Amino acid sequence: MSSELDPPQAGEAYSLYFQEEAVIRQAETMIGKLDEVSDGVRTLADAYRLGYRETARLVRISDRMQLDLHEANRTLTAQAEDLKRLNGTLRKEIERREQLEQELRRIASVDELTGTHTRRHLLELAEHEQRRSARHGKGLVVLMMDLDHFKRINDRFGHAAGDQLLRDFGALLRSSLRKGDIAGRFGGEEFLAVLPETDLDTAEAIANRLCDRVREGRTQWTGQFLSVTVSIGLAGTDGDEPLDRAISRADQALYEAKSAGRDRVLVARSGPG
């Protein structure tokens, strides 16, 4: 940068006051620059003020949006808590209903008095067993049982005594069968058992043993010992025979056992058809 205080160049008129003039020129230049600086500072201040106003406005907008969000958030939190509470109540209600359902299912499937299956549940299980047997080509045996002269017990000792006999027979029946055998109360003093994958001889042996145990058994009733006998009709099926047909054949054998003097086991030897 050339100094303003340089002596005049060749061709330029010489002045005695060149130095003073140079100082004036420099001072004038600097004044111009000062103006530039002050303009620059003014521009900066303006820009800063503008920026600051914008920031303040943005903060105000942001506050307002945050307020909305905060309130929405609080509403959501409250709603979430409500939902949680409702869910808890619902869960309890579901549990209660499931327990109720289980209880109902138990009531529907177990005969209260004898602890054996109810007729409906027994038939369901038996149908299932029959289908399984048919699939595997294996036979099953149906036992129809009826307590002999049961009406006399009821008439002489009352229904409570009859109930006690039924209870005891239920226990004997259950303990006489094997795991996987199905037994249920078919109605009144009539019982049905289904013995899957069993041949007729085995089933007959089981039925005879039950018949013996019932005859030998005693039910204690208000200081007396009551006894009862059972008649049993058996029918075997090779798997293809529908269950109700096998049941009606066993029922026929039971009828024959009754006719032949009761307290015995009779096998329906004739096959299906």
Partner 1 sequence: MPTAFAYESMDTLFLQRTERSPLLEFDFVGRRLRIEGESYPEDAAAFFGPVLKSLESYLSELSVQRPSSPLRLELRMAYFNSSSAKALMNIFQMLESAARQGVPVEVHWYYDPEDETMQEFGEDFSEDLEYARFNLHELEAQPS
Interface contacts to partner 1, rule CB under 8 A: 58-60, 62-63, 66-67, 70
The least CB distance from residue 67 to partner 1, in Å, is 6
Give the three-class secondary structure for 80: helix
Is 36 a catalytic site residue?
A: no
Strand partners for 84: none
Are the CB atoms for 205 and 236 separated by under 8 Å? no
Q: How far apart are CA 195 and CA 173, in angstroms?
A: 12
The least CB distance from residue 84 to partner 1, in Å, is 14
Decide whether 63 or 98 has the Cβ nearer to partner 1. 63
**Which H or E element spans position 195?**
strand 190-196
The least CB distance from residue 75 to partner 1, in Å, is 14
**Which H or E element spans position 64?**
helix 18-109
- Other Cβ atoms less than 10 A from the Cβ of 147: the count is 21
Q: How far apart are CA 144 and CA 190, in angstroms?
A: 7
Give the three-class secondary structure for 176: helix
The least CB distance from residue 193 to partner 1, in Å, is 58
Decide whether 62 or 224 has the Cβ nearer to partner 1. 62
Decide whether 78 or 160 has the Cβ nearer to partner 1. 78
The least CB distance from residue 74 to partner 1, in Å, is 10
Who's near 260: CB < 8 A, 6+ residues apart? 266
Decide whether 62 or 222 has the Cβ nearer to partner 1. 62
Annotated catalytic residue within 189, 190, 204, 241: 189
Decide whether 69 or 100 has the Cβ nearer to partner 1. 69
In the DSSP assignment, the letter for residue 110 is B
For 178, list phi and psi in degrees, rounded to 5: -100, 170
* Dihedral class, residue 185 (left if φ above 0, else alpha if ψ from -120 to 50, else beta): beta
For 220, list phi and psi in degrees, rounded to 5: -80, 130
Q: Which residues are known catalytic residues?
A: 189
